[in-house]
Structure 1
């Protein structure tokens, strides 16, 4: 064996850079959903009026949904996409004085501003306006009212009364005529039926084809006592009056008693409006008997506890 040392072999190691991991491009995050509403023009006034109403959160959401749908439909049309027309006949369920008529009027104005209705006018009717006195008279009256409503809103309050008379009652004739008109002229006017929740449910059950013809059904909740007080204060402010703190306490106590005693017949905002107007009359009598000259401005504006009389 030779004593020569073998030279060491140099090993060159080439380190390869790892290939970058191919990751899919991240989807852009959608913008935060918000309630975009118009800031000028007729639509702005409509939304200001709606949002100025106390409560009605679910109703306000519905109006915004319809507005958003119509706006997006317009954008789709401009982009060359399909934009099918929708049916907007509605059922409003709830107690009296919960804003059903006011919201129906606002919707007429909104649909007109967005080009859905050619006029946007509002026609309010009840059973007596639709039901005639002899065979054929009801259909004639109903068709005439639908004709007047073309381009606008036909609003039937206490609509369930049309089905109360049974099979032989002329109210059924009015229902049949309305159903036909809704189908034949579905894009030319909007029919809104309103009434107590339970009665409207029973009314819809009388005709299997009715519920599907009203794709939009919304509940108008009764106002809480706090909301009723807010409504009363708002109505007073519009008239340049104000309820003093003790008057507000007295009003709250009375509303709690009244709602508990007459939960079925309580008329919500309509009730507090009547209470306020009565208080304004009593305030006038009190001031006239107290001052020999013009009362101070503050007194002319103030509603005191003694002005609130509920009997």
Structure 2
């Protein structure tokens, strides 16, 4: 009986160490931390928005790392929708996104173009296409932010050419998506209607980010930051008046969050300049930087809510005990002397001041 011979083959396979990439070094290369830090410094609050931007950045960064490992390239959708009230930081976030996408290699230029209906849609036949094309060409390699995008679509107007602009945007979103990111922005409810009326547009928008209104505390922080950037500072009582001003301003229509705060700060600085120029012939360091209640109280918002009452050293001449003080002395009259029983005595010093009715 013939014995079977078994031949054992041994393969000498030398496995190479898998490729390793230092994440922190790669983040430095793509300037990830730097861009996210700028976003955090530029915007007060908005934690939910910042979290979404970090999530988008993470998937884009991981896509780059996967490519370095030889894995298949996955191009994530980058077109976005920003919804919320004016002045909530939509343009700032769009600018930071353009910078991030350029650093990661998704955009060649990384600039931001802001456009509205007037920049895209014409009033006559044949003029909309050239206008829209011109804006798109300027935006190539960067981000195009279309503000109040819902105004592009007017279904009840047969002579409106907004639909033509939308069709061109749809083509570019699909064919040029490797070098142009579109962001549609506006109020939340009108934007929902806008997307429902344009299913093709909605399907191409990958990221919907809602921008909440700023809280009272966040608006106060924004104001202080703006004053500091201009090298001004609020006095203690001016801070109290400013908070009351915020309460009133937020109740008015067309309040624009940080944008309105910027206007308030600018007007306070204007009033300070006017006050100092009229009060004194000598400038001091304090007079140049010190925002007083007077620089805020002159706003028309306060005309119906404030009244003037006399205050003396003895106390207040107040009949309505529900009235409470916001801040103390703004100015005082020159001392006068009166004759009481043959003796010349100083009259009580009277300090006119403003108080808020039913302040709580």
TM-score (norm 2): 0.72
Residues 30 and 103, structure 2, Cα contact 8 Å, conserved in 1: no
Cα distance in structure 1, aligned partners of 2:40 and 2:263 = 23
Show structure 1 runs of 5+ residues with no match: 1-34
Residues 1:306 and 2:294 are matched in the alignment: yes
1:91-102, aligned counterparts within 5 Å? 91-102=81-92
Residues 165 and 171, structure 1, Cα contact 8 Å, conserved in 2: no
1:260-271, aligned counterparts within 5 Å? 260-262=251-253, 265-271=254-260
Residues 139 and 180, structure 2, Cα contact 8 Å, conserved in 1: yes
Match of 2:103 in 1: 113
Instruction: Return the match for 1:221 from 193, 212, 215.
Output: 212
Farther-moved stretch of structure 1 (284-293 vs 41-50)? 41-50
**Deviation by residue 1:227-268 (Cα, 9 ceiling, x = unmatched):** 111000001111111112211211111211222243xx2101
Residues 1:64 and 2:54 are matched in the alignment: yes
Cα distance, 1:212 vs. partner? 1.3
Cα distance, 1:100 vs. partner? 0.5
**Deviation by residue 1:164-222 (Cα, 9 ceiling, x = unmatched):** 35352101111111111111111110001111111111111111222211010100111
Give the CA RMSD over aligned residues. Answer: 2.1
Cα distance in structure 2, aligned partners of 1:163 and 1:41 = 38
Residues 1:254 and 2:242 are matched in the alignment: no
TM-score (norm 1): 0.83
Cα distance in structure 1, aligned partners of 2:132 and 2:224 = 40
Cα distance in structure 2, aligned partners of 1:92 and 1:218 = 5
Cα distance, 1:39 vs. partner? 6.4
**Deviation by residue 1:72-93 (Cα, 9 ceiling, x = unmatched):** 1121111122230111001110
Cα distance in structure 2, aligned partners of 1:195 and 1:136 = 27
Residues 87 and 187, structure 1, Cα contact 8 Å, conserved in 2: no
Show structure 2 runs of 5+ residues with no match: 1-23, 301-360
Cα distance, 1:36 vs. partner? 12
Match of 1:15 in 2: none
